[in-house]
C-alpha cells in the first residue's frame, strides 16, 4: 500500500516552523529529527529533516537552503470548529511577521500559506438556496479572517457588520 506525505522545504527555519505548528495545531507532535553531519551543505548539527504529525497528517520538512520559496499555489487548510479556535490559530500563525490574506487565507512568517476555515462554511456555500449561498460567498469575499457569526448572518439575510472586515 502506498501513501503520500507532504514535504515542505524551508531554507533554514524548519525546526522553528515545526515547533510553531505543533504548538498551534491540536493532535500534533514531532516523531523524528535528523541533522546534517560534517561536510554537508549546511553546518553540522543543523536540522536536515523533521518527521512530524500535523493533526494526524504525517508531514516531512527539510532544511534545504535558499532558492525554493513557498508560494500560495499550495496551502494547508485547517478546520476550526469555533470562532475561538479560528482566532487562536489565525493569531498564532500570523504572529511575528506573518500576513493576513483574503477569505480565510494567511501566510505565516516562514512563507507557508494556510486556510483557517470553519467546517460550516462548506455547508453554507452549498446551500440549496442560491441566494443564501451567494450572500455567504459575498460575505466571505469581504473577510480576511473568517467570522462564523457574520457568515451565518449573511446566510440568514441579515446585515453583515464590521466584524467581517477584521484581520
93 and 39 assigned to the same domain: no
In this prediction, residue 1 carries a pLDDT of 65
106 and 160 assigned to the same domain: yes
Q: pLDDT by residue (tens digit) across 82-138?
A: 999 999 999 999 999 999 999 999 999 999 999 999 999 999 999 999 999 999 999
Residue 165 has pLDDT above 60, yes or no: no
Number of domains the chain contains: 2
In this prediction, residue 42 carries a pLDDT of 83
144 and 98 assigned to the same domain: yes
Q: Which three cell numbers stand for residue 119?
A: 467546517
pTM here is: 0.89
Bridging pattern class, strands 99-100 and 75-79: unpaired
91 and 145 assigned to the same domain: yes
52 and 107 assigned to the same domain: no
Q: pLDDT by residue (tens digit) across 30-64?
A: 999 999 999 988 889 999 999 999 999 999 999 98
Angle made by CA atoms 20, 108, 92, in degrees to the nearest 5: 50
SS3 46: coil
Q: Which uninterrupted H or E stretch holds 123?
A: helix 120-125
81 and 142 assigned to the same domain: yes
Residue 161 has pLDDT above 80, yes or no: no
Q: Which three cell numbers stand for residue 5?
A: 506525505
- 41 vs 18, higher pLDDT: 18
Confidence of residue 66 (pLDDT cuts 50, 70, 90): confident
In this prediction, residue 65 carries a pLDDT of 79
157 and 90 assigned to the same domain: yes
- Domain span at residue 122 reads 75-165
In this prediction, residue 164 carries a pLDDT of 42
Least confidently predicted of 20-34, 53-67, 136-150: 53-67
Which long-range CB contacts under 8 A does 129-135 form with residues at least 24 apart?
132/156, 132/157
In this prediction, residue 68 carries a pLDDT of 84
* Residue 1 within a domain: no
Q: Which uninterrupted H or E stretch holds 35?
A: strand 29-35
Q: Which uninterrupted H or E stretch holds 94?
A: helix 83-94
**What CATH number does residue 156 fall under?**
3.10.180.10
Amino acid at each position: 500500500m502506498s501513501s503520500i506525505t507532504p514535504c515542505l522545504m524551508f531554507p533554514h527555519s524548519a525546526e522553528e516552523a515545526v515547533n510553531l505548528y505543533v504548538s498551534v495545531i491540536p493532535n500534533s507532535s514531532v516523531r523524528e529529527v535528523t541533522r546534517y553531519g560534517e561536510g554537508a551543505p549546511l553546518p553540522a548539527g543543523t536540522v536536515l529533516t523533521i518527521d512530524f504529525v500535523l493533526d494526524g497528517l504525517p508531514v516531512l520538512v527539510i532544511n534545504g537552503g535558499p532558492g525554493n520559496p513557498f508560494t500560495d499555489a499550495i496551502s494547508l487548510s485547517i478546520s476550526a470548529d469555533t470562532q475561538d479556535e479560528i482566532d487562536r490559530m489565525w493569531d498564532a500563525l500570523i504572529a511575528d511577521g506573518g500576513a493576513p490574506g483574503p477569505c480565510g487565507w494567511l501566510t505565516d512568517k516562514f512563507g507557508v500559506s494556510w486556510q483557517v476555515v470553519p467546517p460550516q462554511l462548506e455547508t453554507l456555500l452549498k446551500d440549496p438556496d442560491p441566494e443564501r449561498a451567494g450572500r455567504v460567498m459575498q460575505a466571505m469575499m469581504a473577510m480576511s479572517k473568517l467570522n462564523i457569526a457574520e457568515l451565518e448572518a449573511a446566510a440568514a439575510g441579515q446585515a453583515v457588520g464590521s466584524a467581517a472586515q477584521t484581520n
